[in-house]
Each structure stands twice: as C-alpha cells, then as structure tokens.
Chain A
Amino acid sequence: MDASDSDADGDRVELLNDLRILAEQAIRSPDGPLTDTASDAVSRLYDRYKSRVYSFCLRRVRFSLPPGCLVEDFVTDLFFRFVRSAGSLVLQNVHSFSDVERQILASFHQHAMWQLRELIRQHKAVSKLVDEMLQDVARRKGMHRPASAERSPNMARLEQALAELDERARDVLLTSYQHLDQAGEFKLPEHVRTALCERCNFKNGNALVKFRSRKIEELRALLVHVA
C-alpha cells in the first residue's frame, strides 16, 4: 500500500465516521441543536464538498431556479437537506473511497432534484397567492374596505406596496387583475384594453403586456421573499 492509498483509506474511514455521526444526530434529534461532535462532522463534510456541490449547482441548477433565488442559498439548503436526511442514506459499497464519494455525490444530486422541484412548486404557489390577493384588491377597487385592523397584515402590505407604485402602474395592474381568468391569463375585453392603452399612453397592446409583466415581476419580487 503506497502513501496515496493510505491517505484515501484514512479519508474513507473519516468520511464514513462523519456520516455515522450525522445519521445518529438525524435520527436521535433532527430538530435539536447539533452536538459538538456532529458540528465537527458537518464542518468536515461541508469543507470536503462545498466547492463540488457549488460547481454542480452552477452547472445544472442555476438556470432553473425561480426568479429571486440565489445559487449560494440553494447550496446551503442542499447541505442542510443532506445533513437532515443523513439517517436515511444507505451506502451500497464502502470498500473504496471513490465508491463512497460517488454515492454521496449521487445523494446530493438526488436531493438537488427534489429541492429544485419543491422550490419551483412553492414559488408558483406563492406567486399564485399573490395573484389572488391582487385580484381581490382589484375587484374591490373603489369599494368599501374593512378597517385596517380587520385586514390581514399581508393584505395591508400588498396594498401598501400598491400605493407606492406610480399611478400608471397601479392603474394597469388593478385594471388587468379585474380580468384575470381561471387559467391565470389576462383576458381584457377589447374596449377595456383600448381605454387602458389610451389612458396610460401605450402605443399598442404589446407595450401594455410588456409593461404589465415587468410591473408584476417587480411587485412579486418586492412581496415574495424567496431565499
């Protein structure tokens, strides 16, 4: 056995030991604070894989992330997820260091896929909820609203954000959200669209659509805090 084999074997033993510690922690106290031993194991695992996981996320995940999500946060979440589920990690072959590493990377890959799927689903759900609230505000435009104490804090924040928009953007959003159909598409009647274009000085419907999309994204980004 030469020196490199010996190093690899040492790494393998250390890695397996760290995984065992994390598995025990995940099973015994998944929500509780880490023990010192588990903290050390997490730090070693993180240092060992941080750049490779980051590289993977840049290559394979970055372009699929919902707007406002950062790769850096995704990487941290991925490690969090991996550590939390260490108790369910089953290694098939632990005879060589490269085999162990390959299985760990495959596990990171699997978690990344689940995490991304969940993130996209959540982002859609939140966007949809914001849409529904905007629709609700638009429908009540000009109508009596309950006193602020009776309104939910979220609705109050939304209305505050709307109030901070310029008049033109507010008009476009509130008018458009009065005509949002079940499929989430804006179906403005011709006369409404024409009047809105004239009122807000848009040359054509396309300009209106682009402006509206931009403003909706801005508003969502302002309201939906997606890490």
Chain B
Amino acid sequence: MASSEIPKRFGAERTGSSPEGDLSKFDVRDFDDAGLDLPASLETPDRLLARLNNGGRKSDDVPQSNPGAALFPHVAFTGQFGVGKTTASSLWSIVVRAYADVRSDRSIDYVVAEPEANLLFLQRCWELGAPASPSQLNWLLMNARKNGKLADLSPAKRFSIAKEELDSFAFAADMAMRSVQDRLYFDEQRDASIDQILCDPHLVKEFDTFAAELAPGHSRFEYRWAAIALRKARRSANRSIQLSRFEARGSLEDVRASSMPTSGGIYWIQAGNSSLFTGVASNLRRQLGALVDQLGFNVAPRWVRDQPDAKPELRLWCEANFETAEIVRAGLLKRAGSRLNFRHGFFFGAAA
C-alpha cells in the first residue's frame, strides 16, 4: 500500500496537547503491518548500515564546501540521538577554532554580546560540526579562558564604552537584567547569572526588550555591554561601608536637578525601609536625570510586581574614583540589598 493510500485512521492521532500528539500511549497494534508495502528505500538496511559505519553521518549529508549547501545542516541532523556523539573535548576544540576564525582580535565578551559577531560565531561552530545549541556554544566560549583553552590566541583588543555614555543607559541594563532574573525566578523557579542570560538567545532578547523600554535609543550591543561592565564591576571586593557617609537629599521628586552634583559617585534610592536601586555614575546629575526622565519619580519599571509603597528618597555619596565607587556599591548591595539591581552571587539582599 503506498503512502497516499493509507486509510484515514492513520491520521487519527493528529490531535493532542503535546507537539508529538498522543504518541505517549504504547499500543502494540500500531505495529501491525498487515497489507503494508514498504517503500523501496526501506527494503534493505543499506542506508542504516552506511550510517552506522560512518560515525552517525548520513550518506546524503550535504558537504560544507558546496556553496549551495543547506543552512545549519548539523543542527538539522544532529539533533537526533547520538549523531556523531561529539564529545565535550571536540566541542571545546570546535568552539575555540570558531572563535579564532571569527574574533578579529575581539574579546570573548564582545563576540557573545555583539549580535552580528555572535551569529557569525554560532554559524562557524555549526559549520565545523558542533551539535549544540547557541546557549551551550556561547557558554562554552564564555568558559574557554577559565579552562585554559585560549592560551594560543593573541590578547584581544580592549573595548569599552565611555563612562559618560554609560550614564544614560547603564541603569537600564541593570534593571533589565534583574527583570529577566525575576521573571525566571517567579515563573520558572530558576536562578540565572548575567553570563547565563547573555549566552541564551531567548533570554538575552528578553533582556534587550526590557532595556530598550527603560532607556530607548541604544543598540542591543550597548545594553549587553553595559551589563557586562556591571558584572565586572560587581566582582570588586566589597567592603563594609558607613551608611552615614551617604548624604540624604530627601524625596526624589523634590530634588531639583540643578542641585545635583555633576561629579561622579553613588546614588542610593530607598522607598520606606527597602532599598530600591543603587547606581554608580560618572556624572550624578546626568544619570539621575536620565533615570527620572525614563522611569519617573517612582523609579520602579511598570512590570515590577511589588511597586514601592512609599515615596522614593535619594541619598548620594560623591566619589570621583570609579573603582572605589563600585566597591562602595558592592558593599551597599551586600548590606542593604536591592529590589531593582541585578542579582549577583550573594547579593540577594534582605530588602530585595
């Protein structure tokens, strides 16, 4: 019986809540082959044997050198069980080679964060035969240096965004990262680090969306790079701080922009007894101005579950040295927590 002559009952299992329909129920009668004609391609086990003898590759796999080859052939084929059974070590070598091919002296963080560079890297990995998802490949890349896999590569060019520019959207990257973390925590009961979010294409898109809503007008790469810069800064050794050194400026909505210092420092926004947000700025007036312009005096983005029930109040700590300011912020976050800063390691904060 040819495929086109299959009785209608063959399609009966089409419905079902799962993508694979009602396949979960085993019924030996489904294997009844009475009256069935096999297609010619299945008559002999040749294809199966060829594939088993070929390390899992299909004989009709399109060679990579063919310019008309299909897109992502390895993703399409290797999702099936055990194809090639690529070991972790071969994945490492593929990731390192792909990175070396596409990096153009750019750092790992850059290749992960920059959408075009990342796409090139992933495509190169798949072209080299990596049977892994984008998040797995990015994660391996992120960990390549720690595992000593990049010793042979020349040092990457340094890249940074000017701190003056970061002032206008660093807070958005911080809050957007926390928004994704909160969404994952409340909806999926998962904790995710900045690296995990940046490596996962779906999560990083979510992050981009949040960040663009909080401070529109910047590229996806800028938001991601701001998050990376924050992550690096947050690794600073924290130290105990004297909260009394923060100068109280009263309710945020009563503070006049002209009274704000244009120097660098740390600002701490509290609502009642809870710490809302802590930011480091190279120019306090500019960053706070951008923050209030985008979020209003309430500060919390509209999607935050527990909106502050008291008027946010502002405290400042002027500190010209950026590194010192980051250390102070790390100490403050450890001590007071935060409802809107991203969570990093132990900074889950009592008030958060």
B67 touches A227 (CB 8 A): no
A31 to B26, CA, bound (A): 30
B19 touches A152 (CB 8 A): no
B-side contacts of A72, CB under 8 Å: 39, 41-42
- Bin chain A's interface residue count: 35 or more
A77 to B124, CA, bound (A): 26
Q: Mark A70-110, 1 if CB is under 8 A from B, else 0.
A: 01100111011101110000000000000000100110111
Stretch at the interface among A11-19, A154-162, A170-178: A154-162
* Nearest CB of chain A from residue B105's CB, rounded to whole Å: 14
Known contacts: A50-B42, A72-B42, A155-B123. The answer to whether A105 contacts B52 by CB under 8 A is no
Q: Is A122 an interface residue (CB 8 A)?
A: yes
* Nearest CB of chain A from residue B14's CB, rounded to whole Å: 5
B77 touches A50 (CB 8 A): no
- Using CB atoms, name the residue of chain A closest to B18: A117
A158 touches B71 (CB 8 A): yes
- Using CB atoms, name the residue of chain A closest to B52: A34
A-side contacts of B23, CB under 8 Å: 60-61, 64, 109, 112-113, 116
A55 touches B30 (CB 8 A): yes
A53 to B11, CA, bound (A): 16
Interface residues of A in 13-56 (CB under 8 A from B): 30-34, 39, 42-43, 46-47, 50-56
B51 touches A129 (CB 8 A): no
Q: Is A136 an interface residue (CB 8 A)?
A: yes
A-side contacts of B81, CB under 8 Å: 80-81, 84-85, 111, 114-115, 118
A54 touches B33 (CB 8 A): yes
Q: Is A193 an interface residue (CB 8 A)?
A: no
- Using CB atoms, name the residue of chain A closest to B45: A46
A152 touches B123 (CB 8 A): yes
Q: Is B346 an interface residue (CB 8 A)?
A: no
B49 touches A43 (CB 8 A): yes
A144 to B53, CA, bound (A): 47
A43 to B123, CA, bound (A): 37
A153 to B19, CA, bound (A): 32
Q: Is A192 an interface residue (CB 8 A)?
A: no
A126 touches B76 (CB 8 A): yes
Q: Is B82 an interface residue (CB 8 A)?
A: yes
- Using CB atoms, name the residue of chain B closest to A221: B70
A122 touches B76 (CB 8 A): yes
Q: Is A182 an interface residue (CB 8 A)?
A: yes
Stretch at the interface among B56-64, B143-151, B266-274, B287-295: B56-64
* Nearest CB of chain B from residue A108's CB, rounded to whole Å: 8
Contact partner of B20 among A50, A53, A117, A225, CB < 8 A?
A117
Q: Is A169 an interface residue (CB 8 A)?
A: no
Q: Is B108 an interface residue (CB 8 A)?
A: no
* Nearest CB of chain B from residue A29's CB, rounded to whole Å: 10
Contact partner of B31 among A43, A53, A76, CB < 8 A?
A53
B-side contacts of A123, CB under 8 Å: 76
Residues of chain A at the chain B interface (Cβ within 8 Å): 30-34, 39, 42-43, 46-47, 50-56, 58-64, 71-72, 75-77, 79-81, 83-85, 102, 105-106, 108-123, 125-126, 129-130, 132-133, 136, 152-155, 157-158, 182, 223-227
**Smallest CB-CB A-B distances: 6 pairs:** A225-B70, A122-B79, A46-B45, A51-B33, A55-B33, A52-B31
Instruction: Pick 28 A–B contacts, CB within 8 A, sort by A.
Output: A32-B55, A50-B45, A52-B31, A59-B13, A61-B23, A63-B10, A64-B13, A64-B23, A72-B42, A79-B45, A79-B48, A80-B48, A84-B52, A106-B26, A109-B23, A110-B26, A112-B23, A113-B23, A117-B19, A121-B79, A122-B80, A130-B71, A133-B71, A136-B119, A154-B127, A155-B123, A157-B69, A225-B71
Known: A50-B38, A119-B79. 10 other contacts (CB 8 A): A79-B48, A80-B56, A84-B81, A105-B28, A120-B19, A126-B71, A154-B123, A157-B69, A225-B71, A227-B76
